[in-house]
Amino acid sequence: MTSKQSVFENLLSLDGKVAIITGAASGIGRATAKLLADVGAAVALIDIDESGGKETAANINDSGGKSQFFHCNVISDFDCRSVVEDIHTHFGRIDTLFNNAGLIHRKSVVELEEPEWDLELDVNLKAIFFLSRYVIPKMIRNGGGSIINCGSGWGLKGGPKAAAYCAAKGGVANLTRAMAIDHGRKGIRVNCVCPGDIDTPLLRGEAHQLGINEEDFMQEAADRPINRVGTPEDVAKAVLFLASDLSTWVTGTHIVVDGGRLA
């Protein structure tokens, strides 16, 4: 290994670090958990999907990584407080939190029911508040850390038939800025990744909600300067950048990962 390779790998390495990933049972969460484990992090996987979460953990551990699944309903303050304590007890520290859990109802405000509105804001936005409020004191004890919130291109502009989602993700964008201001002097960086259309079960489910043929929907989603739908791994690489020492002076900002759709 050359000295230049060594420097670069050290900047990317998360050896000795512990990362929490929510929504880790599939999609972006699963891909991010695998990538962070590949570069040395011990990963704590959070999801309500116990089967998928345990499968992710098994895949990581079978590949030589270190992971543990923790069942948690991220819209429960009690669950979030308990799981953060369990993770800290199990791993001894927390360095990175990727608030990734999310859902979408493809409806306008006229079509939405109040429980749908509430659930969408709870999962996409309130869960960030719950987990961060318990993780931040643990990070401060370590001398700092990195919180990465999963926003959306539709958190920076509007989108059709996604009123609650746009509201929640817009909140994520500004909550990210506020948290960066509040906690930066304690060594905690807070940033946001804003994916475009990513080939996940969530995206494909939108086609069925809208009553559109899935393949037609995915073909339309690929219409952007980089002419394809994104992959979970595309977003995972941006999360790695924000978790690593490559981004030590980056906070309060948003990285759009959308193949140029917002350009």
Q: Which residues are catalytic?
A: 165
Residue 167 contacts by C-beta under 8 Å, 6 or more apart in sequence? 121
Instruction: Give the Cβ contact number of residue 59 at 10 Å.
Output: 15
| Alpha carbon distance 205, 30 (integer Å) | 18
Nearest to 32 by CA among 195, 220, 235, 199: 235
Residue 144 contacts by C-beta under 8 Å, 6 or more apart in sequence? 186, 187, 188, 189
H or E segment to which residue 221 belongs: helix 214-221
**Which DSSP symbol is given to 153?**
G
| Alpha carbon distance 159, 192 (integer Å) | 19
Residue 14, phi-psi category: left (phi > 0), alpha (psi -120 to 50), beta (remainder): alpha
Residue 62 contacts by C-beta under 8 Å, 6 or more apart in sequence? none
Q: Are 84 and 131 in contact (CB under 8 A)?
A: yes
| Alpha carbon distance 64, 39 (integer Å) | 11
| Alpha carbon distance 243, 93 (integer Å) | 15
| Alpha carbon distance 66, 82 (integer Å) | 21
Residue type, 96: T
